[in-house]
Each structure stands twice: as structure tokens, then as C-alpha cells.
């Protein structure tokens, strides 16, 4: 009985390994990114900008139409940030604007659900999950250092945002088979950051209740081999 059980287990593992399939590819991902900002005392608002990213895609199929999708991306994030501040000399209220550009290394952790063929060699897919990211560089107004117009002090731009980021991700797209093992795909996804990434206004300026979070609408164009 024990030998029969082990034999059945071995067959099951072998069948699972045989049915599993890994597809690896590359993608280019232009995006519209923005900062969701809130800070009622200083009237924080975020505006969008265009950025470019891309990276490696890894789809691990555990069923004919189901895959765990991950990889690693280099992505651009950020946006324009407007807020009110006091002139250090006259104490008059001023409207300030910072253009924030940040680069992140990001790992998606998602599930992809594929339809059967909706046309010859063509499928739709739906993607849902999250991501983990790390800020590897920030520029403010295109510079590695910035002088705060409200305090007159100069800081490293990398100090402005926290390094870790995480969020939820949802998207959809289409995939087309162009060869025996080659596929091209195009899709749209929305990424919504969850943690507050402000590392400056509350610590250095003592502003109250400032919240800054990432958001991106991303167009994926890629190929799997």
C-alpha cells in the first residue's frame, strides 16, 4: 500500500511538472504617473506626468489558462506637487510647485487569467495582484539637490521620498501567438500605491497630516519567447 501511494504521488508530481510552463519575455511600459497628495493645512494637490519603464516578464502557468505572473521592472514614477507655504521673510502665503521624478525597481506579484481563443491564436488576459518596489533615485525639478523655497535650506532630492513602496495592481490585455513559442502582447494596468511615501514635509518642515502616494496608468507592449 505504501509503495502504491508513493507511486501515485510520483506520477502526480511528474504530471504537474509536465503541465507547468514558464514563459519569459520583455516589455516596454510608457505610463501616466501621478502623486495622490493630501495635506489640508497646506492644500496639497498632485498632478500627473508622463514616464517610461520596462523590464522582464515571467509567467508561470499552473493550468492551461492560469499563470502566476512576476518579473522585475525599472519604472518611472512621480508627478507635480503643489502646496501652499509661507514666505520666510514676509510670512505671506505662497503657492509652491515641485516636479518630482523617481525611479523604482519593482516586482509584480500577480495572477493572470487567460480566455480561450477569441480569434485565431488570440487570447484576452486579466491580471490582478500587487507589487513591491524600492526607490533607487529621485530628482526634484530635474536636479539631485533642491532648495526648499519656504525654508531656504538645501537637501538631497533622494531624501524626499521613502525607499519602500507597495500597492495593488489590476489590468487587462490581449496576447497573440506569432510562432511556435513566440507571443506578442499589449495591455493596460492601473497601479495604486498604498503606503505614505512622504519623507520630507512632516519630518523637515513640520507640516501636519501630509500624505503622498503613487499612482500609475501603464501601457504594456511586449514579447514573450
A 10 A CB-CB count for 200 gives 21
pLDDT tens profile 32-88: 999 999 887 788 999 999 999 999 999 999 999 999 999 999 999 999 999 998 877
Residue 96 lies in a domain: yes
Residue 139 lies in a domain: yes
User: What's 125's domain CATH number?
Assistant: 2.40.160.20
pLDDT tens profile 99-114: 999 999 999 999 999 9
Q: What element of type H or E holds 86?
A: strand 66-86
First to last CA, the chain: 44
Residue 16 lies in a domain: no
Residue 5 lies in a domain: no
Interatomic CA distance for residues 38 and 191, integer angstroms: 18
How is 46-71 classified by DSSP, letter by letter? EE-EEEEEEEEEEEEEEETTEEEEEE
Residue 156 lies in a domain: yes
Mean pLDDT for the chain overall: 89
Number of structural domains the chain divides into: 1
Calculate the alpha carbon distances from 127 to 112, 187, 202 in Å.
Answer: 4, 10, 36
Range of the domain at 135: 21-224
Residue 167 lies in a domain: yes
Least confident of 86-100, 106-120, 141-155, 205-219: 86-100
The reported pLDDT for the residue numbered 90 is 78
Amino acid at each position: 500500500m505504501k509503495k502504491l501511494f508513493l507511486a501515485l504521488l510520483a506520477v502526480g508530481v511528474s504530471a504537474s511538472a509536465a503541465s507547468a510552463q514558464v514563459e519569459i519575455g520583455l516589455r516596454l511600459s510608457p505610463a501616466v504617473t501621478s502623486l495622490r497628495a493630501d495635506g489640508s493645512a497646506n492644500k496639497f494637490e498632485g498632478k500627473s506626468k508622463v514616464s517610461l519603464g520596462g523590464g522582464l516578464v515571467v509567467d508561470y502557468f499552473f493550468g492551461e489558462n492560469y499563470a502566476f505572473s512576476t518579473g522585475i521592472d525599472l519604472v518611472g514614477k512621480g508627478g507635480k506637487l503643489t502646496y501652499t507655504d509661507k514666505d520666510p521673510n514676509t510670512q505671506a502665503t505662497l503657492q509652491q510647485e515641485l516636479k518630482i521624478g523617481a525611479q523604482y525597481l519593482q516586482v509584480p506579484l500577480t495572477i493572470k487569467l487567460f480566455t480561450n481563443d477569441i480569434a485565431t491564436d488570440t487570447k484576452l488576459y486579466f491580471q490582478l495582484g500587487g507589487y513591491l518596489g524600492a526607490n533607487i533615485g529621485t530628482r526634484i525639478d530635474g536636479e539631485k539637490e533642491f532648495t526648499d523655497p519656504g525654508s531656504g535650506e538645501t537637501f538631497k532630492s533622494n531624501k524626499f521620498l521613502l525607499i519602500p513602496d507597495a500597492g495593488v495592481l489590476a489590468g487587462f490585455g490581449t496576447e497573440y501567438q506569432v510562432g511556435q513559442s513566440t507571443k506578442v502582447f499589449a495591455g493596460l494596468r492601473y497601479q495604486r500605491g498604498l503606503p505614505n511615501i512622504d519623507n520630507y514635509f512632516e519630518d523637515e518642515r513640520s507640516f501636519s497630516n501630509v500624505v503622498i502616494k503613487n499612482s500609475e496608468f501603464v501601457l504594456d507592449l511586449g514579447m514573450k519567447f
